[in-house]
Structure formats: structure tokens, C-alpha cells
């Protein structure tokens, strides 16, 4: 009886477990998920949310300007222009019977920026940060600084979208919601005109700057902004200046009626093109904003009085974080979490720890565009008798000039603008404490039948191959290897001299500069030069001369300060800083300079503008005991492989295209011009 009772109890227990057994709450919230409300009242979490915005702006897969994210394959726009070029692996497409990669180098959509998702998340953040709960949990200063940064990042993102796509829909602070159902019509907003978009961006920059200045005091003090990674009020002003200059350029340089540049969409909105009459007003906005940054005095250009200090100062302004007085806003990096492999891929393999370097070459014509400090001459002379229009490629019997590169007085590169040193590594220039060997081969005093130098080369060896070779392991050489220099020069900007900078897993912590003070001078110079109401060349030249002085160059007079001169000054100052493509773009000159294989124009330099050139140095060997042995001779020609595939920018590439998906998702959006 007792056991029966026990069994019945057990049966009850089991029946209970099986049938009634409480349903558990299966909800599992991952440890990483934080409720939204708790974010906006906790400064650490707000910073974390903000860090994600910076992270996405810094490492977006479609990089806007100044955002080359090396480490993956993205070389950024610097590589696509005449700043530098890679021994492009795509080049071999020819072998495969496919289209030439070089012909499509400036495809419309290569730099397209489009991220309304980021804008939405910024708007959610702004809504949260503007709540009373959030404001109560911190000082007004702190709250304003968070808000101002988010507004700045939203303006920055939208600026790059508008720059590549033209007028888009301004969503302002709206956070859209969709409750379900089948009707999304209320969300199908129209595009705004390009002009409205720039006005909005400029206004947002002012709002952000105001938030970042609270009662006349900067909400992010310099001491709390190491390496200028946070956007402060000066960054907002710089963005305002850059956006206004872009709008002014569109108004000034667009060819009215050009179907590739101007468009009024099906709803009658002028999505592309700004009336020429607006140019002066925008130039004025740009000039004033940039001047405000200069006059603010928060930043100073880094200069040097002697050749060596001037050379070093310019290099330090880019490549050294400590004590940098010039940068305003950067994408900072810190190893190992946020690093770059730029040095690994670009540095000379003889000097880096890895075997993959030398992948970018600086073209010869860039080096040649620097002025001689004394004579003002451009170019590097290669032969004793110069031909009138061609400095190089002398005829039969013209002996090559033998340079002793070890002697600064005889070194042609040392005679140039001091900024050349900080821009490129030339043969025997010092990097990481020792000269870099860039040597294409040996010249033994012989000539070919056509008058060119007869030279001896050896196949460039893999790094570490024992023995000595006629050609340096760094190159330059005309071969298909990606790790051998092709042009004779290596870009020095962004190269990190710290030990281990080319080694896994830490790599380099080199930053990317978005804004530095020099750009404020450049904007003032350009705005004044191109707009009489702003001041004309007479005002402009005073700003450009500030930049020239850091290269130890003589000042220009107002008469010498032409648009062409401005372009060359900008190219030199902002080399490899991802300005070139966008400058050429807003001047609407890109299609004339990089005009593909048909080019015969001699606009900026005499040999056509769409072909990069190489300048190879050879050591001299004239038999035992000859005092000239070991000196260098140079030979110049169109760059290997690029002879067949010059840079090509089609006129329809000024604006990126709208994808079919965007258009079908919103019938109120129209195609872009040239699409």
C-alpha cells in the first residue's frame, strides 16, 4: 500500500512535468545588447556610439575623400590619379582577352558614397542626446560636444554623397519608421536641388561649430583631442569652407547645358548644376570660413628656415603625430587595434621588414613639377645639350649628365622645393636612416643606334636573394612584379619609419589627415584668385606665398599667380592626400587631363597629360679607376605598361550613377546626368 502510494506520487510528478511543466521564458538577450535608453545617459556608452560613427566614416567601404584605407586592396583615390600608380595587377587583363583595366580606371561609381543608414543612426543618436534625461546626466558642455560631433559627421557624410551623386533628399533630423502594410508612399520623398544640398551642409557646419563652441569656449579643448581625432569647431569650419568651395567651383566651371553636368529632374528639381551667378557668394563663404580658421590661431604651419629643417618640417607635418601643430582633423590609428599596412606595401623592400613593398610609384612628371629654389626651373636635366622643348630624351651624341647623388650640391633633387623631400623618396634619398637604393641598372658609356643609352640590367631579385645585381631589388624595372618599383620614385608621405611598421600583427599606426591648416591657406588663395569680389589674385597670392615659403621658394607676384600656377601649387602641397582627383573634378578638368590614349594636349607638361612618366637612374661604370664611376645618369620615358593604357576620365564620370535599386525603390528619384 505504501509503495503504491509512492508510485502514485511519482506518477503525479511525472505527469505534472510532462504536461504542465512550466514553459520557460526562452528570451536570451546577448551580453552585447544594451537598451537604447541606457546609452544616452552614460558618457562612456555615448562615446562608444560616437566611436562607431567615427569608425564608419574612417573605414567606409566606399571611401570618401581623404580616406584611403590601405591594408586591404583599397588604395584610395591617390592611386587613381597622377599622384602615383600601382603596378596594376588588373593590367594583365589584356592577357586574358578582357577589357583593359586602365581604360575603366575612373569608372563612374568608383568613389560613390551613399549611406542613408549612417545618417539614420546619427539621427537616432541626435534624438537621444537631445533628450532632457541625457542633458541632465552631464554638463551642458559635454552634451553640446557630443551633439556637435554627430552633426558634423552627418554633414561630412552627406557632403560626400552630394559631391559624388549631386542633389539628394535632405532628410534632416527625421528618423523614418515603417509600421508595416503595403503603402510606403509617404516615404517617397523627392530629391533636393544641388544648391539646396550645399546650403544645408554649410548651415549644418555652422550649427555644429556653434555646438562645438559653447559661450565662446571650445567644447573639446585641445588637451582632450590627441592627434586631432575628434572633430572640433575648426574641423566644422574647414568642412564648411571645403563644401562652399566645391559649390562655388560647380557654379563657376560647369559648362551650362552640358548634359553630363547639369540636370533638372522629372519633378523639375535642379538636381545637378548651380547657377553661375552664385559662384561669388560661395567663394566668399569659403574664403571667410578658411580665414576664420587661420585667424583663429589654433594651428601653425610647420616650417624650417634651412633646407634640412624645411625638408624635415614638411615631412613631419604629414608623417609625425607628436608635436604636430598643423593638423585639424584626422582619422587616427593605434596599433594593434586600428592599424594600416601602408608601409608594408609602399615602403622600399630593402628597408621594410616585409617583402611586399614598392607597390606604388611616384611618376616622374610629378617630381619634375617642383621648382628649382634658385632658377625656378622645373624638370630634371638628363643630357648635356638640352633640347628646346624637351628636357629629356636627348638625341645621338648628347652625353648624359652624371650626377653625384651623394653630394647635395650635385644632387638635382636637393636643388628643388624643400617639399620634394617630404613627398617622394628619390634614388639614394635617406629613409629610416639609410639611403634607399633605386637603381635601374648600369651605364657603361655606350649608346644604342637610336641615341638612347645602352644600359645593362639584371632581373630584379626577390628580397633576400644573395649576391649583388645590376638592378636594385627595389627596382625600378620594367617587369610584371608588383613588388618592384616602376617609375623611379617612391611616395614618402604616410610611410612610417618606426620599427615593426611593416610587420604583422601591429603594422603601422600612421594616421590619415582630413584637414590641415595648409588647406585653409589654399582655399583662401583659390577663392580670392577666382572671385574678384573676394579680392582677386592680389589677395590670393599672399596666401599661396605662405605655402611656397615652407619650400624655401621665392614669393610670387600677383601677376605670376595664375589659375595654372594655383593648380601646380595645390598638386605639390597636397600630393598623396587625396585632393588631386577631387580638385580636378570640381574644376571640371579631369576629362581634359586624363583623356585616355587620344591625348595630344600639352596643358600642364609638354608630353601629354594622361601618360605617367618614369625617370630611371643608372649607375655609371666607365671602367676601373674612372672618377665618374658610381655617379648616376637618368633616362626618361613613358611609364611601363601605361604607354598602352593611359589614364582615362570620361566626361560622364563627374557624377556617379544611381543604382536601379534606388530608383525602383523610390520612383520620385531620377537618373543622374550622363547615366
Partner 1 sequence: MLFTLIFKVMKIIMHSRSVSDKFYLFKRLLIMKLTLFFILIFNIGAFANVFSQTTVSLNFKEADLEKVLLTIETNSSYRFVYSNNKILTGKKITIKADNENVTDVLNKILSNSGLFYIERENHLVAIAPVGTLAGTAADAQQGFKVTGLITDEGTGETLIGATVKVKGTTNAVAVDVSGKFTIDAPSANSILVVNFIGYTELEVPIGGKAVLDIKMSKVTRNLDEVVVTGFGLTTKKSTLAGAVSQLSGEDLSQSRATSASGAMVGKIAGVNFRQTNGQPGANPTIRIRNFGGQFDNPLIIIDGTRRDMDAFNALDFNDVESLNVLKDGSAAIYGFSGENGVIVVVTKKGKRGQKPTFSFDTYYGTQTYANFNKPGDIKSYVRGIVQTETYGDGRQSVASRTITPEIYQKVMNGAPGYEGFDWYKYIYKSAPQYQAKFSVSGGTENTDYYISATTLNQGVALRDFGDGFKRQNIQANFNANISKRIKFGMQMNGYWSKQSNTNVEGNDFDWQAEAPYRNLPILPGSGVAYTNPVSGPYINGNPLYPQGTSPSGQGYSYGLVSPELSGTASTTRRNVSITGTLEIDILPGLKGRMLANYSFLSNQEDSRRLSPTLYQLNTLGTIIQDGSYVPARNNEHIFRNTDNSSLQFQLEYKKSIGQHNFQLNVNQESTLSYSPFVRVTGIPPANNIPYIPNIGKDNLTSFEDNISNYTPAQGYQVRLNYDFAGKYILEAFGRYDGSSYYLPEKRWGFFPGGAIAYRISQEDFWKSSPILSTFNDFKIKASYGVLGNAFGSATDNYLTGYEYNQGSAVLNGTVITGSQILPPPSLALTWGRTYSSDVGIDMTLLNSRLNIAVDYFNRTRSGRGGRSVVTLPDLTGFNAGDENVNSDKDRGVDGSISWRDRVGEVSYGINANFSYSRSITGFRYNQVFGSDYGLFRGTQIIGTPGGTNGVDRLNGGPFQYVVIGQFQNWEQIQNYGVDQDGKGNTTQKPGDFIFKDTNGDGFITPNDQTRETYTINGANGSVPPLSFGFGFNVNYKGFDLRTDFTGGSLFTFEQTSSGFSSATGAYMREWLPNRNTSQYLFDNSSYYSDIFDRNSPIVVGKYPLLLQTNPAPNTNFNHGGWQTNITYVRVRNLQIGYTIPYSILKSLSVTNLRVYVAAQNLYTFSNMPNKIDPELANGAGGGLPSPRVLTAGVQVKF
Among 281, 320, 377, 503, indicate the residue that binds partner 1 (CB under 8 A).
Answer: 503
Tell me the three state secondary structure of residue 416. Answer: strand
Q: Tell me if 169 contacts partner 1 by CB under 8 A.
A: yes
Is 171 an interacting residue with respect to partner 1 (CB under 8 A)?
yes
508 touches 313 (CB < 8 A): no
Residue 33 or 409 having the CB closest to partner 1: 33
Residue 668, all three cell numbers: 520620385
Among 74, 107, 110, 116, binds partner 1 (CB under 8 A): 116
Among 74, 104, 124, 589, binds partner 1 (CB under 8 A): 124
Residue closer to partner 1 (CB basis): 168 or 251: 168
Verify binding: residue 17, partner 1, rule CB under 8 A.
Answer: yes
CB 113 within 8 A of CB 164: yes
Phi first, then psi: give them for residue 97, nearest 5 degrees: 80, 5
The answer to the question of residue 36 lying near partner 1 (CB under 8 A) is yes
Residue 665 contacts partner 1 per CB under 8 A: yes
**Near partner 1 in 476-495, by CB under 8 A:** 480-481
C-alpha cell at 522: 589654399
CA distances from 549 to 111, 305, 371, 418, 556 (A): 34, 9, 12, 9, 10
141 is a site residue for partner 1 (CB under 8 A)? no
Question: Cell triple for residue 273?
Answer: 548644376
In this complex, which beta carbon is closest to partner 1, that of residue 430 or of residue 644? 644
Find the shortest distance in angstroms from Cβ 339 to partner 1: 10
Beta carbon nearer to partner 1, 286 or 436: 436
Binding residues for partner 1 restricted to 350-369, rule: CB under 8 A: 353-355
Residue 255 interacts with partner 1 (CB under 8 A)? Answer: no
Task: Report if residue 182 touches partner 1, rule: CB under 8 A.
Answer: yes
**627 binds partner 1 per the rule CB under 8 A:** no
Based on the shown chain and the rule CB under 8 A, indicate whether residue 11 belongs to the binding site for partner 1. yes
- Could you tell me the smallest distance in angstroms from the CB atom of residue 346 to partner 1? 18
- Comparison of 130 and 568: residue with beta carbon closer to partner 1: 130
Question: Residue from 259, 275, 336, 554 that binds partner 1 (CB under 8 A)?
Answer: 336
Provide, rounded to whole angstroms, the least separation between the CB of residue 572 and partner 1.
Answer: 29
Beta strands in 299-359 (DSSP E): 327-331
Q: Does residue 431 belong to the site contacting partner 1 (CB under 8 A)?
A: no
CB of 160 to partner 1, least distance (A): 16
Q: How far is the CB of 37 from partner 1 (least distance, A)?
A: 9
Rounded to an integer, what distance in angstroms lies between the CA atom of residue 447 and that of residue 588?
A: 44
563 scored as a contact of partner 1 (CB under 8 A): no
Residue with cell 647623388: 405
Give the C-alpha separation, 438 to 414, whole Å.
16
The CA distance from 242 to 62, in Å, is 20
Site for partner 1 contains 28 (CB under 8 A): yes
The one among 92, 267, 385, 430 contacting partner 1 by CB under 8 A: 92
* Closer CB to partner 1, 51 or 305, in the complex: 51
Q: Which of 183, 295, 446, 450 binds partner 1 (CB under 8 A)?
A: 183
Burial class, 624, CB count within 10 angstroms (exposed 0-12 / middle 13-18 / buried 19+): exposed
CB 261 within 8 A of CB 588: yes
Q: Are 360 and 84 in contact (CB under 8 A)?
A: yes
CA 597/CA 643 separation, integer angstroms: 9
- Nearest distance, CB of residue 452 and partner 1, angstroms: 15
Q: Rule CB under 8 A: is residue 600 a binding residue for partner 1? A: no
How far is it, in rounded angstroms, from Cα 434 to Cα 347?
13
Which of 616, 586, 605 minimizes the C-alpha distance to 282?
586
Separation between Cα atoms, residue 97 and residue 80, nearest integer Å:
23
- Closest separation in Å from C-beta 373 to partner 1: 38
Stretch that binds partner 1, among 164-172, 278-286, 595-603, 608-616 (CB under 8 A): 164-172
CB neighbourhood size of 389 (10 A):
8
Q: Which stretches of 297-372 are DSSP H helices? A: 307-319, 342-346, 364-368
The binder of partner 1 chosen from 140, 188, 430, 602 (CB under 8 A): 188
Q: Which of 596, 662, 671, 675 binds partner 1 (CB under 8 A)?
A: 662
Q: Is 295 in the site for partner 1 (CB under 8 A)?
A: no
Shortest distance (Å) from residue 196 CB to partner 1: 15
Q: Phi-psi bin for 489: left (phi > 0), alpha (psi -120 to 50), beta?
A: beta
Residue 178 binds to partner 1 (criterion: CB under 8 A): yes
Residues between 458 and 477 that touch partner 1 (CB under 8 A) = 458-459, 461-469
CA dihedral 624, 630, 636, 640 (to 10 degrees): 90
Q: Among 50-58, 268-276, 285-293, 627-635, which window interacts with partner 1 (CB under 8 A)?
A: 50-58
Among 131, 172, 176, 538, binds partner 1 (CB under 8 A): 176
Q: By three-state DSSP, how is residue 237 classified?
A: helix
Q: Which of 121, 163, 344, 588 binds partner 1 (CB under 8 A)?
A: 121
**How many residues of this chain interact with partner 1, rule: CB under 8 A?**
109
Which range touches partner 1 (CB under 8 A), out of 102-110, 292-300, 498-506, 519-527? 498-506
| Residues 284, 134: Cα–Cα separation, whole Å | 38
For residues 537 and 515, give the distance between their C-alpha atoms in angstroms, rounded to a whole number: 24
Torsion sign, CA atoms 305, 308, 310, 316: negative
- Asked if residue 112 binds partner 1 (CB under 8 A), the reply is no
Interaction between residue 32 and partner 1 (CB under 8 A) = yes
Q: Which of 323, 505, 623, 624 binds partner 1 (CB under 8 A)?
A: 505
Residues 406, 286: Cα–Cα separation, whole Å: 45
- Nearest residue to 487 (alpha-carbon basis) of 400, 599, 368: 368
Nearer to partner 1, 142 or 410 (CB): 142
89 φ, ψ (degrees, to nearest 5): -65, -25
Angstrom distance (rounded) from CA 175 to CA 179: 13
- Footprint of partner 1 on 206-245 (CB under 8 A): 224-227, 229-230
The residue (of 255 and 325) whose beta carbon lies closer to partner 1 is: 325
- Selected binder of partner 1 within 5, 61, 97, 559 (CB under 8 A): 97
Looking at residue 548, the DSSP 8-state letter turns out to be: H
Considering only 109-117, 201-209, 256-264, 645-653, which stretch makes contact with partner 1 by CB under 8 A?
109-117
Three cell numbers written together for 93: 587583363
For residue 617 the three cell numbers come to 637612374
- Reported as type and span, the H/E element at residue 469 is none
Q: Which stretch binds partner 1 (CB under 8 A): 201-209, 232-240, 307-315, 454-462?
A: 454-462
Whole-number minimum distance, CB 668 to partner 1, in Å? 8
Nearer to partner 1, 375 or 465 (CB): 465
371 membership: H or E segment, kind and range? none
Distance between CA atoms of 369 and 377, rounded to whole angstroms?
A: 9
Report angle CA 385, 387, 390 to the nearest 5 degrees. 130
Contact set for partner 1, span 57-86 (CB under 8 A): 58-59
Amino acid at each position: 500500500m505504501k509503495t503504491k502510494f509512492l508510485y502514485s506520487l511519482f506518477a503525479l510528478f511525472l505527469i505534472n512535468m510532462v504536461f504542465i511543466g512550466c514553459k520557460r521564458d526562452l528570451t536570451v538577450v546577448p551580453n552585447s545588447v544594451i537598451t537604447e535608453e541606457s546609452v544616452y545617459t552614460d558618457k562612456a556608452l555615448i562615446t562608444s556610439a560616437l566611436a562607431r560613427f567615427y569608425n564608419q566614416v574612417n573605414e567606409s567601404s566606399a571611401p570618401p575623400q581623404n580616406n584611403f584605407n590601405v591594408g586591404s586592396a583599397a588604395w584610395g583615390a591617390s592611386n587613381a590619379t597622377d599622384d602615383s600608380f600601382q603596378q596594376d595587377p588588373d593590367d594583365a587583363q589584356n592577357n586574358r582577352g578582357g577589357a583593359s583595366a586602365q581604360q575603366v580606371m575612373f569608372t563612374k561609381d568608383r568613389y560613390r558614397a551613399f549611406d542613408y543608414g549612417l545618417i539614420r543612426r546619427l539621427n537616432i543618436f541626435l534624438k537621444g542626446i537631445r533628450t532632457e534625461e541625457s542633458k541632465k546626466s552631464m554638463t551642458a558642455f559635454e552634451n553640446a560636444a557630443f551633439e556637435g560631433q554627430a552633426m558634423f559627421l552627418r554633414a561630412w557624410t552627406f557632403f560626400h554623397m552630394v559631391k559624388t551623386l549631386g542633389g539628394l533628399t535632405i532628410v534632416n533630423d527625421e528618423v523614418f519608421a515603417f509600421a508595416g502594410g503595403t503603402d510606403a508612399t509617404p516615404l517617397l520623398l523627392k530629391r533636393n536641388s544641388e544648391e539646396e544640398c550645399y546650403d544645408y551642409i554649410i548651415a549644418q557646419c555652422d550649427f555644429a561649430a556653434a555646438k562645438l563652441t559653447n559661450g565662446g569656449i571650445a567644447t573639446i579643448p585641445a588637451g582632450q583631442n590627441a592627434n586631432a581625432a575628434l572633430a572640433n569647431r575648426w574641423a566644422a569650419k574647414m568642412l564648411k569652407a571645403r563644401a562652399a568651395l566645391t559649390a562655388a567651383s560647380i557654379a563657376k566651371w560647369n559648362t551650362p547645358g552640358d548634359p553630363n553636368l547639369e540636370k533638372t529632374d522629372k519633378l523639375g528639381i535642379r538636381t545637378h548644376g548651380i547657377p553661375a551667378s552664385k559662384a561669388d557668394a560661395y567663394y566668399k563663404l569659403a574664403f571667410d570660413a578658411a580665414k576664420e580658421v587661420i585667424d583663429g590661431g589654433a594651428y601653425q604651419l610647420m616650417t624650417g628656415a634651412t633646407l634640412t629643417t624645411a625638408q624635415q618640417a614638411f615631412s613631419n607635418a604629414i608623417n609625425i603625430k607628436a608635436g604636430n601643430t598643423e593638423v585639424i582633423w584626422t582619422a587616427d590609428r593605434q596599433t594593434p587595434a586600428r592599424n594600416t599596412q601602408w608601409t608594408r606595401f609602399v615602403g622600399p623592400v630593402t628597408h621594410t621588414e616585409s617583402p611586399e613593398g614598392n607597390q606604388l610609384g611616384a611618376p616622374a612628371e610629378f617630381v619634375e613639377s617642383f621648382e628649382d629654389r634658385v632658377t625656378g626651373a622645373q624638370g630634371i636635366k638628363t643630357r648635356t645639350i638640352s633640347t628646346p622643348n624637351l628636357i629629356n630624351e636627348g638625341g645621338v651624341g648628347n652625353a648624359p649628365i652624371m650626377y653625384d647623388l651623394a653630394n647635395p650640391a650635385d644632387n638635382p633633387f636637393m636643388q628643388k622645393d624643400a617639399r620634394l623631400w617630404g613627398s617622394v623618396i628619390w634614388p639614394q634619398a635617406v629613409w629610416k636612416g639609410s639611403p634607399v637604393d633605386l637603381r635601374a641598372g648600369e651605364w657603361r658609356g655606350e649608346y644604342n643606334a637610336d641615341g638612347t643609352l645602352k644600359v645593362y640590367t639584371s632581373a630584379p631579385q626577390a628580397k633576400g636573394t644573395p649576391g649583388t645585381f645590376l638592378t636594385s631589388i627595389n627596382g625600378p624595372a620594367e617587369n610584371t612584379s608588383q613588388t618592384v618599383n616602376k617609375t623611379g620614385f617612391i611616395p614618402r608621405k604616410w610611410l612610417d619609419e618606426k620599427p615593426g611598421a611593416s610587420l604583422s600583427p601591429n603594422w603601422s599606426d600612421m594616421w590619415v589627415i582630413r584637414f590641415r591648416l595648409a588647406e585653409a591657406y589654399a582655399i583662401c588663395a583659390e577663392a580670392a584668385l577666382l572671385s574678384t569680389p573676394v579680392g582677386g589674385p592680389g589677395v590670393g597670392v599672399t596666401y599661396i606665398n605662405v605655402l611656397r615659403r615652407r619650400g624655401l621658394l621665392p614669393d610670387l607676384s600677383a601677376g605670376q599667380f595664375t589659375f595654372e600656377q594655383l593648380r601646380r601649387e595645390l598638386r605639390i602641397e597636397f600630393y598623396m592626400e587625396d585632393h588631386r582627383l577631387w580638385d580636378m573634378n570640381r574644376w571640371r578638368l579631369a576629362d581634359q587631363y586624363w583623356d585616355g590614349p587620344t591625348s595630344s594636349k600639352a596643358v600642364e607638361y609638354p608630353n601629354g597629360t594622361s601618360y605617367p612618366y618614369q625617370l630611371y637612374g643608372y649607375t655609371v661604370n666607365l671602367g676601373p679607376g674612372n672618377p665618374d664611376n658610381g655617379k648616376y645618369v637618368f633616362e626618361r620615358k613613358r611609364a611601363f605598361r601605361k604607354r598602352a593604357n593611359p589614364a582615362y576620365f570620361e566626361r560622364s564620370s563627374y557624377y556617379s550613377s544611381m543604382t536601379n535599386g534606388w530608383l525602383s525603390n523610390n520612383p520620385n528619384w531620377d537618373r543622374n546626368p550622363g547615366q
